[in-house]
Amino acid sequence: MKLSLSFCASLLCLFVFGTNSLAAPQQSFQQWLEHYRAWDRLEKEYAAEKTDETPQDVLKRAQVYLNLNSPAQALEIIEMTAAFDDKKLEAERLWIGGQAFRGLGDLSKAVLWFTQATRFMDASTSNKRLKAEPQLETIWHDVWLKMYWSYTANHTLSRASQKEALLQVLSVGQQVWKDSFWDKAQVLLEGKSLQLKEENKENTEVTLAQAPFLSVDETNIIAQSMASVSLSKFEAANKQLDQLSLDPVRFFWKAVVLFLENGTLPADLAPFISGNYLKAHAFWAGNMLAPYSTSKETWFLGNPHSGPWNQFKNNLLAMPLDDANKAIDNELRSMLISEQTTALLSNFKLALTLSNGDFSTAKNVWNSLNKRTLPISLQLAGLLSFKENLNNVLPSNPTEAYALSPILTALSGAAGHDIHPLTEAPFWMAFSPKELAQLSNELFPLDKLLLLAHWQKRFEKKPSQSLAKRAAFLFENASFGIQGLLYLANDAAKAKHLQLSAFYLNKIEEPALPANLKVSWLDIKTRIELNAGRQGAALQTYQDMVATGEPIPVMTRLRMALLYQQRKDYKTAQKELLAMWDVKESMTTALQAETLFWLGEGEYGMRHPEKALDYYLKLAWQYPKENIWALTAMYRAALIYEKRGKYDTAKRLLGTVVRNAGRKEQREAAKARIDAIEKKSGTKKASTSALVYPF
């Protein structure tokens, strides 16, 4: 049908004169692109401009990169741009920088940049913008905590400037969120203690009074055992610990010795759970010693793998204490030994005298040493024996000091020497999980190990992405933080956010992981590679999983079995499926049925129709309620029977598929096969027997 000329003219007029949205453009092309959020094209427009950029142009370009989820490019622009004279523009530059750092996962720098941005805003504007940033209140809290823990481990000249930054971030937190945490943090930062609310005082004071008390002698026994550990005398260390009277304390320290000897974690934490020693439980459940899982050499004197050193050490250990000390002193008086050998001999003398309980001689040696370079076990022994200030023992490198500080603090507490009594609960204080939340939030909000215990309980009860993120940020060196990263990586992989999942995995040092966590890491990596189409890489990663010797998740076995089948490696696929079948009791009936189906498919692929038929029929009989797998197996069995000329059996199987199939396609396919069989076999009435009389 042809349109009339008058109708065409009317239509043209309608579009030309009657539609405002298609009128001559009132916006620039850049504004138009921004309206439709065509950020990639807008970035090209900005980049193509030949004129000198104004501050507004710089900020627009950086904002476009943020909108394109390219925070690194946005940050490059911001950092390459000098501070603006205009306060409003400088505030915006710093704000975009904070968002870029947050996009890169660097929360500490993000908070510092946001803090600097608020200096160029009025209170109303900064409050509004900070509250509008998603989850920023929680991030602000956690970043301040991390800064505080770093501050307590800092003994360098930067400590004063670090405190200034702490106060700035705290001031913004107080101003914006009005949470009681900030007032408590300020009190503790000023060196004062917190008081409990009246309604909570009575119960909690009873709990505090029940904390096990370690005598000075018992603390010294632990110091002696740590000195023995520094000499790799693990048996001697355990014998010394046998003298401890409290079972949970003895259990804790023997677990420390065992870990340092061979990397083994305690299999059962019941002694801590039954006694409500939740900080001790958190120490091992969160594996605070995780950074030393693969290498523990920093805990021992000399090189444990050096033959000459071990021979020299053993010769001295075989001597009576006085003779050994004289031999060491004679060596130290020699003018021929190097500075390094002098330090090693002095350290050895400290370990030898401490392990033998000669605290008087040990103190003289301790006072003459560079304590920052001692093995960790000797640093701990010295802290316990001589009550040295922690900051005089921590390494000179701020990063190393930050990593070691919470470990020495926790272990000192476990030996009865509380390093931060104002801000941290006594290590052996017994309290219930209910009291745990109260104490962590109200009385000891800066206690790292108490917070770890609190969050572990929360995560066990109800895992969440938000808590996993917080754990990964604040406890990155403990296995609890690693578990948080694995949880996030797994969530992202399930949602097919492969780049985000890989980001979380790459934050974990895979070679340092214990076997159980390494399997989880490799499992997620396998799924990322499969979803990215990198099948060869996935197979290699899977072999690395198998090499750990840890149990393989059944779904991972299934994925890899199907991949092997796709590659026509039916034997390897069968091996994986049979390994699944060995643990079928742990699987759902749906997964059991699916396993049998793929075992049948593998046998068919290897041209073993008899064996395939066994699997198909067993599946259909044993799992009739698993409709999709039972009916598909019956369909596949029917094809085998049809091929063999067993038409009646094939039709019966297909008839069940037609009656029970939930999908139209499956029903139609079964009907089509029945029709084809009837054409081949005719429509004679089916016999109940396959017996044929030849005469």
DSSP-derived secondary structure for 390-444 = GGGTS-SSHHHHHHHHHHHHHHHHHTT--S-TTTS--TT----HHHHHHIIIII-
| Residue 388 maps to a domain | yes
Cα–Cα distance measured from residue 252 to residue 249, given in angstroms and rounded to the nearest whole number: 5
The pLDDT of residue 224:
96
Residue 107 sits in the same domain as residue 182: yes
Label residue 52 by pLDDT band (50, 70, 90).
low
C-alpha triplet 659, 661, 663: angle, nearest 5°: 140
Number of domains in the chain: 3
The pLDDT of residue 12:
33
Span 53-72, pLDDT tens digits: 789 988 988 998 898 888 99
Residue 37 sits in the same domain as residue 162: yes
Angle formed by the axes of helices 136-152 and 398-414, to 10°? 80
Span 70-126, pLDDT tens digits: 899 899 889 989 999 999 999 999 999 999 999 999 999 999 999 999 999 999 999
> Hey, what long-range contacts does 660-664 have (CB within 8 A, 24 or more apart)?
660/627, 660/631, 661/631, 662/627, 662/628
Residue 139 sits in the same domain as residue 267: no
The pLDDT of residue 587:
95
Candidate from 346-350, 406-410, 612-616, 689-693 with smallest mean pLDDT: 689-693
Residue 295 sits in the same domain as residue 398: yes
Candidate from 53-57, 493-497, 521-525, 674-678 with smallest mean pLDDT: 53-57
The letter for the amino acid at 19 is: T
With beta carbons less than 8 A apart as the criterion, state whether 54 and 45 touch: no
| Residue 533 maps to a domain | no
Label residue 17 by pLDDT band (50, 70, 90).
very low
Mean pLDDT value of segment 181-195: 87
With beta carbons less than 8 A apart as the criterion, state whether 117 and 91 touch: yes
Judged on CB neighbours under 10 Å (0-12, 13-18, 19+), 509 is middle
| Residue 202 maps to a domain | no
| Residue 360 maps to a domain | yes
Mean pLDDT value of segment 278-302: 89
Label residue 507 by pLDDT band (50, 70, 90).
very high
Span 533-585, pLDDT tens digits: 999 999 999 999 999 999 999 999 999 999 999 999 999 999 999 999 999 99
- What is the domain-level CATH number for residue 161? 1.25.40.10
Label residue 513 by pLDDT band (50, 70, 90).
confident
Q: Which helix (H) or strand (E) holds 690?
A: none
Nearest Cα to Cα of residue 595 among 616, 609, 611: 616
Q: Token pair for residue 265? A: 């974690």
342: three-class secondary structure by DSSP: helix
Query: What is the maximal distance between C-alpha atoms in the chain?
Result: 120
Label residue 293 by pLDDT band (50, 70, 90).
confident
| Residue 3 maps to a domain | no
Mean pLDDT value of segment 325-347: 79
Residue 185 sits in the same domain as residue 220: no
Residue 183 sits in the same domain as residue 63: yes
| Residue 669 maps to a domain | yes
Which of 365, 392, 414 corresponds to the end of one domain?
A: 414
377: pLDDT strictly greater than 50:
yes
Which of 145, 170, 189 corresponds to the end of one domain?
A: 189
The pLDDT of residue 18:
42
With beta carbons less than 8 A apart as the criterion, state whether 419 and 153 touch: no
- Show the 3-state SS of 538-592: HHHHHHHHHHCCCCCCHHHHHHHHHHHHHCCCHHHHHHHHHHHHHCHHHCCHHHH
> Hey, what long-range contacts does 252-255 have (CB within 8 A, 24 or more apart)?
252/280, 252/283, 252/284, 252/414, 253/222, 253/225, 253/414, 253/415, 255/284
The pLDDT of residue 40:
64
Average pLDDT, the chain: 87
CB atoms within 10 A of CB 44: 12
The pLDDT of residue 45:
66
476 or 29, which is more confident? Answer: 476
The pLDDT of residue 109:
95
Residue 126 sits in the same domain as residue 182: yes
Residue 182 sits in the same domain as residue 331: no
With beta carbons less than 8 A apart as the criterion, state whether 301 and 344 touch: yes
229 or 25, which is more confident? Answer: 229
Residue 43 sits in the same domain as residue 141: yes
* % of the chain with per-residue pLDDT over 70: 89
| Secondary-structure percent of the chain, ordered helix, strand, coil, rounded to 5 | 70, 0, 30
249: pLDDT strictly greater than 60:
yes
Cα–Cα distance measured from residue 188 to residue 446, given in angstroms and rounded to the nearest whole number: 8
320 or 568, which is more confident? Answer: 568
Residue 294 sits in the same domain as residue 396: yes
For residue 97, give its domain range.
29-189
With beta carbons less than 8 A apart as the criterion, state whether 85 and 57 touch: no
> Hey, what long-range contacts does 453-457 have (CB within 8 A, 24 or more apart)?
453/278, 453/279, 453/281, 453/282, 453/286, 455/480, 456/282, 456/285, 456/286, 456/480, 457/278, 457/433
What is the full DSSP assignment across 275-314?
TT-HHHHHHHHTTTTGGGSS--GGGSSS-TT-HHHHHHHH
* % of the chain with per-residue pLDDT over 90: 62
Mean pLDDT value of segment 170-190: 92
State which of 3-7, 10-14, 421-425 shows the largest mean pLDDT. 421-425
Candidate from 195-199, 249-253, 404-408, 452-456 with smallest mean pLDDT: 195-199
| Residue 118 maps to a domain | yes
619: pLDDT strictly greater than 60:
yes
Residue 230 sits in the same domain as residue 185: no
| Residue 241 maps to a domain | yes
The pLDDT of residue 169:
95
Beta carbons within 8 Å of 129's beta carbon, 6+ residues apart = 95, 121
The pLDDT of residue 44:
66
Mean pLDDT value of segment 524-536: 95
With beta carbons less than 8 A apart as the criterion, state whether 456 and 272 touch: no
Which of 372, 388, 414 corresponds to the end of one domain?
A: 414
Residue 348 sits in the same domain as residue 235: yes
